[in-house]
Amino acid sequence: MEDTVKPGLRFSLLFEAEGRNESGYRTDITVHRRARQDESFFLPCDEGKVVGGEGTAPWPLCYFASGLTGCLSTHLRSFAKQLDIPLSKFSLTVKCSWEARQSGALPYKATPISFVVDIVLEGGASDRDKMRLIEAASQGCFVEQSLKPGLVVHRLKVGDGWVSV
Amino acid sequence: MEDTVKPGLRFSLLFEAEGRNESGYRTDITVHRRARQDESFFLPCDEGKVVGGEGTAPWPLCYFASGLTGCLSTHLRSFAKQLDIPLSKFSLTVKCSWEARQSGALPYKATPISFVVDIVLEGGASDRDKMRLIEAASQGCFVEQSLKPGLVVHRLKVGDGWVSV
């Protein structure tokens, strides 16, 4: 695995999660980043009490939403530098929506509806460069590129409104 | 939004992440579960020092891996009850792999390779029922159903080996 990114190269990433459930919805999860030197994080999950969990840890979908948001954020920062686009502070809001449909007594089936990403970029770049940056970050984002095509919508704050990218 | 699941119903889920980046790779992220009563969790991310981050928080892909693992785990537990399939302890290991490809000086593009889910179910169910449970959990998992088709591979521990589901 490469720990640095050089032009023309390919590199691989491997993240391995180990989950253990003893009872109920609480699942102890440790995630390892497999590389020359492994790094590990304890990221347990639970469901809230409203659906029968114990509320001892974040919902799984909170982790998913943080992962998508963080991966896009990382690529905005990294690629602004690579593309020489000025970027100071920025913020992004990601709305993730799903639907579950249940027929008869069978368990429900899940359907993703959309992941809407609203982005505010500060630092004085032109709107054209901001859009170019968002497009590049979208293509480089490991989470977004793992999702079904068409689900993620990006919007850039321009003046008082939002422009689809 | 429905906080309980009843046969024949549809329900919606909305999780909203708010991320703010001041500099570098550190991004402060708060995720809200939007429902009758919002629940919020602070799930900041960073990159490790090996790639220029500060290592102050988990990598974004750790959150993604935890989210996929936790969502599958939750559905195994929930649907075992609905399908009347005995389930005591269980564990799952999820290996998430991606590749990045960079041409010339352009930023790289991300490609997901596979998400391999190895599952060990205890509690005395038949192998056939275990496979039926995994299939149902796969269909109910909001994260998995958001991913490009064919990426997720499930394997059940049967005896000393693994059987694809």
Helix, strand, coil content of chain B in percent (nearest 5): 25, 40, 35
pLDDT in tens, B80-104: 999 999 999 999 999 999 999 987 7
Percent of chain B's residues with pLDDT above 70: 95
Closest C-alpha to B142, from A72, A136, A155, A111:
A111
Cβ distance of A27 and B78 shorter than 8 Å:
no
Helices (H) and strands (E) in chain A, counts: 2, 7
Query: What is the per-residue pLDDT for A4?
Result: 55
Contacts of B13 in chain A (CB under 8 A): 61, 97-100
Closest-CA distance, A48 to chain B, in angstroms, reads: 9
Contacts of B79 in chain A (CB under 8 A): 107
pLDDT higher than threshold 90 for residue A8: no
Best residue in A21, A85, A145 for a mutation probing chain B (most B CBs within 10 Å): A21
Q: Long-range pairs for A4-8 at CB < 8 Å and ≥24 separation?
A: A4/B50, A4/B51, A5/B51, A5/B100, A5/B102, A5/B108, A6/B102, A7/B102, A7/B103, A7/B104, A7/B105, A8/B102, A8/B103, A8/B104
pLDDT in tens, B12-68: 999 999 999 999 999 999 999 999 999 999 999 999 999 999 999 999 999 999 999
Is residue B29 within 8 A of residue B62, CB to CB? The reply is no
- Angle (CA) A63-A68-A71 rounded to 5° is 115
Is B6 exposed, middle or buried, given 0-12, 13-18 or 19+ CB atoms closer than 10 A?
exposed
pLDDT higher than threshold 80 for residue B143: yes
For residue B50, how far is the Cα from the chain centroid?
25
Q: How confident is the model over B137-148, as a mean pLDDT?
A: 98
Is A108 exposed, middle or buried, given 0-12, 13-18 or 19+ CB atoms closer than 10 A?
buried
Token pair belonging to B25: 């790779």
A65 touches chain B (CB under 8 A): yes
Is residue B69 within 8 A of residue B61, CB to CB? The reply is no
Token pair belonging to B120: 């060990």
> What span, in angstroms and rounded, lies between the C-alpha atoms of A2 and B104?
17
pLDDT in tens, B127-141: 999 999 999 999 999
Contacts of B21 in chain A (CB under 8 A): 73, 76-77, 89-91
A142 touches chain B (CB under 8 A): yes
Q: Which of B37, B71, B136 sits opposite A61 (nearest CB)?
A: B71
Q: What are phi and psi of B27, to 5 degrees?
A: -130, 125
A38 touches chain B (CB under 8 A): no
Query: What is the per-residue pLDDT for B39?
Result: 97
Residue ranges with strand state E in B55-165: 90-101, 109-121, 152-158, 161-164
Among the ranges given (A20-29, A45-54, A87-96, A103-112), the one the predictor scored with the smallest mean pLDDT: A103-112
Query: What is the per-residue pLDDT for B4?
Result: 55
